Structure 1
Amino acid sequence: MAGEVCRWTTQAQALSAFADFTGKTQSASHIKPLHWYVACRLVLEGGFDPDDITPRPPFRVERRSGRPPVLHYDEDRAGGGERTILGGLKTKNVDVVVTRDGIGPVLAVSCKGVTGAFRNLTNRMEETIGECTNLHITYPALVLGYLVLLRANRQAEELLEEVGEAAGTEPEKVLAANDLALTAGGDPVAGIMRFHNALRELVGRRGIRNDVSRYEAIGFGMVEMKPGARGSLLDHYPEDDSVLRIERFFDTLYLRYDERFVTSAPDLASKTRRLEWAADSPALNIAGLDYEGRSVPVAPAQEAES
């Protein structure tokens, strides 16, 4: 997928791509569809101009004087790549970035996908903290999100029965390539629970004077690998009250963005305010849309005076 442009991607497609990937993770092909999903959602639901997003989503904005803009699906306008952000310690390529002209990067999301070696998850924390700190040193107002997926690999006996038979794959090879994520009772193994708890301590940054090593939002999801549910999110972990539930991720990003760049900066609001698409925008009816687009009803045209 290297060099490919951003495609219209649903959450289900992004999760399925992550679950079904069998190549080397160094290519990032297992997580690239998640980048595209995030970028597309920031337009449709978030109201960000696709021209301000890297990778550029496949949409086009039709602006009309005195009326809400119309959003069109346009794959010819799509772009790829990552945006390089100047950090306090070094430059960093970030997966999805929203940049405002004259202001700089205002919102960014780093996406990670872990397919195995879960016992080493806590070793990734130094990298996770360092990336956040590095970017916030230079851009303390940057709303930074971290979205991570893990494969919910089952107990060895379940893999032998479910994965090997259903996929027609030799179970021994599957087991050699993936570490255990869930116990026989369906609970996450200790290493994953420690990782969840460590991430929980890194989220919740609300203001620009808060700890620069905290993310504004973190989303943590485990992707089912068993037949019949493969490619869906594990529903019982994280638990419903966890701040890391993916369902809360985007709302938190939008809230922090509005607080910093709209509410707290009224003189810039005309430039920073998120767009509301005309309710009759063709792109809001795109197939597979699994969240509500940000729209405003279009007032009926006034009747001409007789």
Structure 2
Amino acid sequence: MDERDAFRAFATSEDATQSQRHIKPIHWYVACRLVVEGGFLPEDITPRPPLAVDPRSGRLRYEPDAATGGERTILGGLKTKDIDVTVLKPGLGPVLAVSCKGAIKAFRNLTNRLEEAVGDCTNIHITYPALVAGYLFAFRANRQAAAVAEEGAVAGASPRRQLAANDIAVGRGGAPVEAVLRFHHALSELSGRRSIRDDVSRYESVALTLVEPEGHEAGGVLEGFPPPDSRILLRDFFSTLYLRYDERFVYGAPDLKSVTRRRFWTEDSPAWTAGPGGLPDRPAGYDPRIAEPMDDEAPSPP
């Protein structure tokens, strides 16, 4: 649920990358945020987050037994594809999808990541041109060993194993290395798809972030990169997804609004309380989608 916890698990994991354990917490974070902030129904999302909606009152509650893992397999134009987080609307198919990727070392392989990103986006947009596609990429902000030792004396960071030159993301001066800068530029060119007639190889929204791996700052996002004028800032990622979704599936198709509109949750939902059905931790870094019941935007049964 919490961004910091999800990124901390990614940044400090010692599991092999093949296991996907370092990235799974980010999947769950995205899925939960799409409900709490985005107003999507939990049952429409894969993996199904540990949340449920009362069919009578529309109140949101924490329901750990409702959670189910896995990825949804999407029929692409070239091949089927397992998507990390997917929103599927009955009768319409997949309407929003987020790919969550990360690199903890071996940054020399970033070209392969770009080719994969372009191919996956093209593949799903061929079959579903209206689908809103997001791409969230996190780097572990590895520093040169000397810099880590110096910072550890101040921040209480634990010693880390020696890193190869290709595993370094942040140089001694605190700026990202050239490989990361090039990757940022390339990803920026893959973002910003607005219309279903636009280039199918571009994502509707892209975010890039460097995550601190050491000490008390572990899980925090590196300040200052991407720069404030970047097109792929994490702070804009979700709001852009929601905007593109509403443009296509709500405002652009008013006859389907009863199915496609995003829900507002009530102020008295159990999710916001400390009692039964309350979230273990209040959302951090974003606000729940709460509003007073008004007209056709009132919380309603799924």
- TM normalised by structure 2 equals 0.90
What is the Cα deviation at residue 270 of structure 1? Answer: 1.0
Q: Does 1:275 align with 2:263?
A: yes
3-state SS, counterpart of residue 283 of structure 2: coil
CA distance in 2, matches of 1:168, 1:191: 26
CA distance in 2, matches of 1:75, 1:177: 42
Q: Does 1:292 align with 2:287?
A: yes
Q: Does 1:25 align with 2:17?
A: yes
Q: Does 1:205 align with 2:188?
A: no
Unaligned runs of 5+ in 1: 1-8, 300-306
Look up the match of 1:69. 58
3-state SS, counterpart of residue 248 of structure 1: helix
Match of 2:230 among 242, 258, 266: 242
3-state SS, counterpart of residue 237 of structure 1: coil
CA distance in 1, matches of 2:167, 2:156: 19
What is the Cα deviation at residue 227 of structure 1? Answer: 2.5
3-state SS, counterpart of residue 112 of structure 1: strand
Deviations 1:19-67 (A, max 9, x none): 1101200110000000000000000000000010000011111133xxx
Q: Does 1:138 align with 2:127?
A: yes
Distance 1:166 1:178, change over 3 A: farther
Bigger radius of gyration among the two: 1
What is the Cα deviation at residue 188 of structure 1? Answer: 0.5
- TM normalised by structure 1 equals 0.89
What CA RMSD, in Å, does the superposition of the two structures yield over aligned residues? 1.8
Task: Identify which range, 211-220 or 150-159, moves more after superposition.
Answer: 150-159
Look up the match of 1:304. none
> Contact between 2:75 and 2:124, CA under 8 Å: does it hold in 1?
yes
3-state SS, counterpart of residue 141 of structure 1: coil
Q: Does 1:56 align with 2:48?
A: yes
Look up the match of 2:180. 192
CA distance in 2, matches of 1:176, 1:190: 15
The structure whose RCO (Cα within 8 Å, separation 6+) is larger is 2
What is the Cα deviation at residue 273 of structure 1? Answer: 0.5
CA distance in 2, matches of 1:225, 1:59: 30
Q: Which 4+ stretches in 1 moved above 3 angstroms? A: 160-169
Distance 1:160 1:175, change over 3 A: farther
Look up the match of 1:227. 215
How many corresponding residue pairs?
286
Look up the match of 1:41. 33
Deviations 1:237-260 (A, max 9, x none): 001111111010000000000000
Structure 2 letter corresponding to 1:19: A
Structure 2 letter corresponding to 1:31: I
What is the Cα deviation at residue 229 of structure 1? Answer: 1.5
3-state SS, counterpart of residue 110 of structure 1: strand
Structure 1 letter corresponding to 2:13: F
Deviations 1:51-94 (A, max 9, x none): 10000011111133xxx610011111111100000000000000
Look up the match of 1:90. 79
Deviations 1:218-239 (A, max 9, x none): 0111001232312100011001
Task: Identify which range, 137-146 or 148-157, moves more after superposition.
Answer: 148-157
